[in-house]
Amino acid sequence: MLEIRKCVVIVLLLCVNSIKCEIDDGSKQGQLVFAHVIYRHGDRTPVDPYPNDPYKDRKYWEEGYGQLTNVGKEQHYQLGQFFRKRYRKLLENGNYLRDFIYVQSTDVDRTLMSAESNLAGLFPPEGNQIWDNQIKWQPVPIHTIPEQLDGVLASKRPCARYTMAAKKYQKSQEFQDLLNKYKSLFQYLEQNSGTSIKTLDDAQYLYNTLWIENLKNYTLPEWTKKIFPGGDLQWVADRSFQVQTNTPELARLKSGFLLREMLDRFDQKIASKLNPDRGVWVYSAHDTTVANILNSLQLFEPPRSPPYTATVLFELYKKGDSYYIEIFYKNSTNENLSPLNMPTCGVRCSIRDFRRIYETVIPTESFEKECEVSLLSLTYEEVEYRGLDGSWLALTLLLLVVLAIVLMAWKMFQQERNMRWYHRI
C-alpha cells in the first residue's frame, strides 16, 4: 500500500512539473507586440571561384557570380509565407501597410532580391490591393544605403578601433595556435586551388565554393576528396564565423550597433513613442550577420555556417504591465521554434536585464566616438596592433618636435623683422 502511495505521489509531481513546464514555455506567456527579423539571403552562385576551379567560367553560372538563384527566390518566398503566419496579427491580418512593417537590406543584389522574394510570400495582394489579376504580387519598399556608409547592418563602414582590435586578436596565442594547427591543411589547399589560404576566412570562402558546386551536382576535382565534404576544412569553415566577434570589443564594434538599434526601438515601442507604431522590422543580410549577432550574444553553440535563409527572431512580449524579449533561431527547415537560452536570463529577458547582461557588447557612444583611435592615447602594444612599430612612432614624434621648433623659430624671426621695420619707420 505504501509503495502504491509513493507511485501516486511521483505521478502527481511529474504531472505538476509537466504543467509548469508548459506554462513556462516562452511565447505562451504573453502577447507578442513587436518583432525584429534578421535573415540570410537565399541560395546563390559562388562569389569568387578559385583560380584552378574547373567551373570558374561564367557559362556555368548563368545568373552571374554571387547572385541569387531561382532556388534562392523560392526559399525566401516560403520564408515570407512563414512570417505571414507567425506575424499576421502584427501586420493588420496580412495586408501591406507601410505603418506596420519596415524592410532594410544591405546594398547587395542577392540580399535585395531575397527581400523582394520574401515580401512576395509575405504580402500577396488581396482585395483592393490587387492591381493586376494575372500578377499575384505587389511592390513593397525596401530601404538600403551604400555598404561603405553602413555601420549597423552591413557593418562595412570603416572603424579604426575595430581594425586594431581585430589585429590584436589575430596575434593572440589562441588564434596563432589555431592557425598553426591547420597550417598543413592551408598549404594543401593553396597547392591545389591556386589561391592564397592564410586565414580561416580564406579556407571558408574556398569551402563555400566547393559546397555550392557540389550542391549543383558538379563533379569536383580529385584533390578535393581528401578534404571535402566534412573533416577539418568544414570545421575550420564553421569556426571562421566566430572570428569577427570573438572578443567583447570585436562584438561591440561589429554587432553592437545593430543590437543597440533594436533595443532602442523596443524601448520606444514600450513607451508608445515608436512612430510609425510598426509591428515588424526586417533586416535582409548575410551569413556573417546572423553568425555575428548570435556569437556576440553567446548563443552560437556549436558554431555552424548559417544555411540559406537562416533567421534570428528578436520578439517582444507583453504580460500584464511587464515586457520581455525572446530570441529564436530558425534554420532552413525547423518550423516549430523554441526560444534560445540567454546567459543568466533563460528563455525570456526584460530589456533592462538584457542590457545588463550584454553591457560589454552594447555601445554607449556614437559610431564615430566608439571607432575613433587617438594616436597619443595608444600604448606601445596597441601601436603595434595598429600596424605601426616603435621606431616609426619615435621618428614621427621626433619630426613633430623638429617641426614645432622650426615654426617657433620662424615666428620669432618674423616678429624681429617686423620690429626692425617699425623702428626704421
Written as nine digits, the cell of 94 is 496580412
Give the separation between CA 41 and CA 79, rounded to whole angstroms: 11
Cβ burial, residue 115 (10 Å; 0-12/13-18/19+): buried
Q: Within 13 Å and on the Cβ side, how many CA atoms surround 248?
A: 7
Q: What angle do CA 37, 43, 48 make, to 5 degrees?
A: 115
Q: Which residues on neighbouring strands pair with residue 37, listed in sequence order? A: 282, 313
Catalytic residues: 41, 287
- What value, to the nearest 5°, has the Cα angle with vertex 293 and ends 245 and 316? 150
C-alpha cell at 175: 588564434
Contacts of 292 (CB under 8 A, 6+ apart): 155, 241, 244, 245, 251, 254, 255
Distance CA 12, CA 29 (A): 23
